[in-house]
Structure 1
Amino acid sequence: MSKLKTALLSTVVLGATCLSHPVFADQQGNAMISKTNYDSVSKTFEVIAQQSSNGKTIKQVDAAVWSEENGQDDIKWYSTSDISNGQARVRFNLANHGNHAGNYITHVYTNYADGSRSGVVMENTWISPKAPTLSLKDGGIRMSTDIYAPTNGTLYYAVWSEENGQDDIKWYADNGTGTTIADLKNHSGYGKYNIHTYVSQDGKMSGISCQDITINKQDVSYQINKINDTTYDVLVTNVPEYITSITVPVWSNVNGQDDIKWYTTTKIGEGTYKAQVNLANHGYTSGDYSVHIYGQNAISNNFEGLRVTSGFNVVNVSKPSAAPSPRITTYINETNTYPVGQCTWAVKTLAPWIPNWLGNAGGWATNAKTKGFRTGSTPRVGSIAVWPNDGGGYGHVAYVADVASNTRIQVKESNYAGNQYIANFRGWFNPLDSFWGGSVTYIYPD
């Protein structure tokens, strides 16, 4: 241990040196002041004031800490009057100084119960920038750090692929956010990539770390799932980060590629993309379909084929019927007077041929029939479904959008589950299910 000279800061400029271990108090009975080593995990260190044997009673400790760079622009006072067993502790936290690396100065002021005060200059603490965390993300090498450059410096990353030496070396400056992306379009080749980190300060460049990351070429995987008779999901998985987008061309093998459609996928998870194929885009053709997978490659900067799939087969799919033209046109130009958001308003909006003033939804089939409209029990696209026993006794109506069978339809409607706007809320469902009241009648436009 080394003895530390102390003096009243009001009269003397401190120039003493302190180790990071406890030191003896001087003959004036001042406290022993020490500082722990910097903890790089918690990014903290502690200043400890310990009352010496038969020394003066500590009342309060104030530690001023700031980085040497740019003066005292980041000065922070750490104070405590919590004294336990003659000891007081304050904790420096790098977050209070913007998480910047640098040479940190610490002055400690101890106030005593007798009204006196002493001051100590501690040994500076050098906090170095650290090696970044490396990862592949969105077509680039991501370099992340939680300790930024000194306030008068800049972090730089030199990045190049091992292939062909340093022919593709590029320097990236950290913008102060702690995250820097090396776009793979600026480089070439698979395999090992070198990342060297430097800090530029006071006109000098100092090395921080030498790291590398390996980018292997990999094959994508896929699944093709049938959602319903006319819809298929193409799920592309195991997509590497250097592939920045996935596109899926699909076509029926009947008549070549006359119906080819390129589906843009949606990224739904890490390395996972999905496209939804609708047979309406292919004329509802039955038979075999081809599905290929293409991607935008950040390394080659090319749009390239990644995989030929086994495709899928469509058996006897029927083209949905189009809504027939209305036979009764008297009411088409009427202003919709049904309350906005109600099921009746939605149907009048979607099927303007239906008249106003048909009453509650439950009575629509009967009232429409008296006005000359045909009704029946078979669902048809463009017809109006009427559930007289649904809707808490008021009934419910909806516009039929698609039909697979008498027990499998899709509708557009409003005021379903409290949603007062028009949408297909239910997908495919059984209109005769007891949950909807057990019976349904359809009003036809023709």
Structure 2
Amino acid sequence: MRQLKLSVFIFICLLFGQTSIAEATEDQTSSYIILDMGGAVQKQQIFVYNQGRLETQIQQDNSIIQYTYDTNGNLKGRNKGYSSEPYVFSSTAVSYDIYLKGVPDAVSLVRFPTWTEQNGQDDIEWIVGEKVASGVWKGTVVFSKHGGIGTYITHVYADQKIVAGVGAQVKDTLKITSTQTASLVDGFYEVYVEGIARTVAEIRFPTWTEYNGQDDLVNPWITGEKISDTTWKIRVPFSEHNFEKGNYITHVYSFDKYGTGLGVGGIAVTVSGGTTGPKEPKRSSGSYEVYIYGIDPAALKVRFPTWTAYKDQDDIEWIDGVKVANGVWKATVYYSKHNSETGSYITHIYADGKFVGAWTANVLAQ
């Protein structure tokens, strides 16, 4: 077997020349590979249909226009890709397609054996091609079958005869950004992922808290919002996770147009509790509310003793809090209970007798 591998590799090098993979940035990544059988350039426009709808249009310059549709069959958009050497793909692409043009009609089978350079052909996959148009066959290389990033080598066989060979490099281009810490008071935080391949159909962000494992995992997984060709984001609302404190964990999964998914990264954000309310409420409003987040779900009673700075605690009122959500309590402070005074109103907060927070508001006359 080793002797066969060596002889085939030497044959490919003599026939097509060794492939040199150059360094490339994310902006230089390819979207597809387009080869011509026997090396003869086939300058033609090719239309590929799927279930009666135009799916792919290969231009004479080997650029590709990809058409996407909604569930009702309405055209959603057109994305232009390209095929240029050196072939470099983002790991977020999940897969890439190799098109072979100029295939005679008499050919009944085209295969695309593919493996990665690392450890030789231990991961070889004999990909069976699909005839997508007259004279055009396609093979899809799925990264998860080859360990992800690295140098990929593909030979192309038409009815047992080797007719082409190509090398490609899969690189990690993903960048995940988010705040390191957040407060339940903020209501949510956002996660951004950059360096996403333009061919990606969807990015999903399964998210859960460390507390009690994945009991709060949102299903179906949160689908990201595409905000540019290569950047997606999500908003993680604390209300979907029982307003829990601690570590929030988000994994990132990329899906290609075939629905194949691949985990490409993850991030953790530490979320704390907190207290909030108005800083300068107006006396004319009659009252204001103070909220505290991150209370132990087992707490039975939360109280909000409140008084004004004027004459110290002569007007203290122990307000019984109202539970409004898991770990979230509130109190309503009425000015009439405090002689309708202006100035500083001070609130301390106790959960089952234990001090857990405070809030100060400066009440204005108007």
Does TM-score exceed 0.5, indicating one fold?
no
TM-score interval w.r.t. the shorter chain?
0.3 to 0.5
Q: Name the one with the larger strand percent.
A: 2
Normalised TM-score (structure 1):
0.33
Which protein, 1 or 2, shows the higher relative CO under an 8 Å CA cutoff with sep ≥ 6? Answer: 2
Structure number with greater Rg is 1
